[in-house]
Structure 1
Amino acid sequence: MTTPTLPARLVAGCGYLGHRVAASWHGQGYETHAITRSIDRAAAFRAEGLHPVQLDLADPKSDSLPEADVVLWAVGFDRDAGIPRERVWLDGLQWLTEHLSVAPRRFIYVSSTSVYGEGDRELVDESTATNPVTEGGLCCVKAEHLLRELCAKRHPETQVVVLRLAGIYGPDRLLRRVTDLQQQNPLPGDPDHWLNLIHVDDAVRMVNFAANAATVPDVINVVNQHTLTRQQYYTALAELVSAPPPVFQPANEVDATDQQRRRSRGGNKRVASAFREQFDVGFEFDNVATGLRDAVMRTSAPS
């Protein structure tokens, strides 16, 4: 008996999350196309069984894209590239949407919980109005609206699913250099402020759910159920790497740059998901202590 061919999928943004999703889709048997501007990464993707699409979303030269039943946009912002955020996150998104050769069944857009603003320890979920205060949060809201408008006009049969991700952590990404803890370098930020997090493997699980499930909400907050404070997070991490307890910089010594970084990480709100009450995606690392242990064990080199 001939095995039925699964529909193709397209990933724009093959970074920390997108590359893992592409590998997962390939492993499930989907023909997976991955956009990259790098010749070397294109070759690496091809060796992994992916179908590279060499394209710079900040300056696209191609006229068309491969057909795809599901499109994932997981494009990050490269500060070192010297390209304005809007040029990729808005102009690049518009170009990609307008150049899809067929209407996908679903277009999954990876957004951020920074769209909810800073907060003052309040609880927010998908029903909370957006109120971004950072450049990234503002751009995410604009991109969410832009994508919905474009698909409504060009691809009305496409469901746009917005995944608002909390801070991603996992192997080789522990939010802070372990050496800072080992050397007791003071950490900026209020130790009692909330950290909203999601392990990268659970983020992949949510993307797979959004791609595969028969029914999916239009907006989903992707976040661990058990929010913890910065003090709790760094204390757990210090214990795992046999470092002294974390030391935090006094509030009066935190400069404007550090304050801006805190704002960009989401301020001091607790993010939840009403969606989690309706469906069980099966997160493995809702307990951040367990997720941290996994991340430390799988980190390839001291960070």
Structure 2
Amino acid sequence: MSVSIIGCGWLGQALAKHLMTNKVDIIASYQSKKTHEKLIELDIPAAKLSLPLEDEVLSCQSLDDIANIDVQLFQKRVLIIAIPPQLKKGRLDYPLKIQQLIHMAELGNTAHIILLNSTAIYNGLYGRVDETSELNLSAEKVETLVDAEQAAKKFTKGLTILRLAGLVGPNRHPGKFLQVKRVFENAGAPVNLVHQVDVIHIIENLIGDDNVHIEPNIYNVVSNTDSNRQQYYQVAAESLGLPLPQFSFEQQKTTGKKIIGERLRSKLNYTYKKDDLLTWLKEASRAL
């Protein structure tokens, strides 16, 4: 088994260390000097890859023709794309980055791509939403995330798209991000979160699956935490001894969106290790 991780930040580093512990052949990419130094500290093999590359990359017919890449990144069996969408020079270039990665994976030995996307793709929707819900392309970021998935779907081998809910885990206790004077909206909206450990184990299960289908699989990755925003962030604040966050009840929407992740649980027969993140929040707080 061999894996390349494109975008080795907080999640990618934890994933790489877990897979290396299980003797998986790993290489990770980095862009910044800071990330490179962290990967060296963690003994994670790495190669530099700055995205997006020059536009001409899409017309290249061999990896050897593409400048400024280490071909090792596209010679592993599984390619995990874990780069966050970012606004650059007034435009989102996330779909272009995905398009270039897909093209290079086609030229290399990649047999299975796992794209880590976001449940922000459901922005603008309300109530219960799942992988079959019609998306609101006029909402912020949605069109960008959809374009990225469409680019990934052009890969001619195995493809899995994981739409990740908000990430929590080590060094990401939600209480640490609360600002004393911050005012939150939509107090009654459901929280849609997932713990790092579950994302890692789901990916591990996927890369160990030899029955990868050509037809793309899309899964929501989200815990079954039963809480609204007000309850969750108040518990987060109390657990760290912080002032309770303030919530605005003006123009509050009666419902937010509740991401449903039953398809993954059923298809992959996966049982979440941190399915109640209110309980995790209290336990993590006691450990601080």
Query: TM class by shorter-chain length?
Result: 0.7 to 0.9
Matched, 1:164 2:160: no
**Alignment partner of 1:75 out of 59, 83, 88:** 83
Given that 1:171 and 1:294 are in contact with CA atoms closer than 8 Å, whether structure 2 keeps it comes out as no
Return the match for 2:280 from 291, 295, 299. Answer: 291
Question: Unaligned stretches of 5+ in structure 2?
Answer: 55-66
1:205 and 2:201 aligned:
yes
Q: Percent identity over the alignment?
A: 22
Residue in structure 1 matched with residue 258 of structure 2 by the alignment: 270
* Letter matched to residue 228 of structure 1: S
The TM-score with structure 1 as length reference comes to 0.78
Q: Which residue of 1 aligns with 2:271?
A: 282
CA RMSD of aligned residues (A): 2.7
Q: Deviations over 1:155-201 (max 9, x none)?
A: x2x21100011111223324454663xx4x35221211111111122
Alignment partner, residue 251 of structure 1: 250
The amino acid of 2:200's aligned partner reads V
Equivalent residue in structure 2 for 1:189, among 168, 185, 188 = 185
1:278–1:58 Cα change, 3 Å:
closer
Question: Could you tell me how far apart the structure 1 residues matched to 2:236 and 2:3 are?
Answer: 36
CA contact 1:42–1:52 (8 Å) conserved in 2:
yes
| Number of residue equivalences | 268
| Aligned equivalent of 1:12 | 6
What residue identity is the alignment partner of 2:259?
V
Structure 1 contact 10–32 (Cα < 8 Å) conserved? yes
Which of 16, 23, 33 is equivalent to 2:27? 33
TM-score by length of 2: 0.81
| Structure 1: unaligned runs, 5 residues or longer | 1-6, 260-266
Q: Is the 8 A contact 1:227 1:270 kept in 2?
A: no
Pairing partner for 1:124 from 123, 129, 143: 129
Query: 3-state SS of the aligned residue for 2:92?
Result: helix
1:49-91: CA deviations, max 9, x gaps?
3221112113464255211111111101455xx445533x222
Alignment correspondent of 1:4: none
Equivalent residue for 1:113, pick from 119, 122, 139? 119
Deviation at 1:223, TM superposition (A): 0.3
Q: Secondary structure at the match of 1:251?
A: coil
* Distance change >3 Å, CA 69–CA 83, structure 1 → 2: farther
Contact 1:125–1:272, Cα closer than 8 Å, also in 2:
yes
Q: Cα 1:96–1:124, aligned 2, differ >3 Å: closer, same or farther?
A: same
Deviation at 1:140, TM superposition (A): 1.2
Q: Distance in 1 between matches of 2:168 and 2:41?
A: 27
Report the Cα distance in structure 2 between the residues aligned to 1:283 and 1:132, rounded to whole angstroms: 31
Distance 2:200 2:91 in 1: 24
Q: Which amino acid aligns with 1:277?
A: S
SS across alignment from 2:207: helix
Contact residue 129 and residue 259 of structure 2 kept, 8 A: yes
Segment drifting more, 52-61 vs 243-252: 243-252
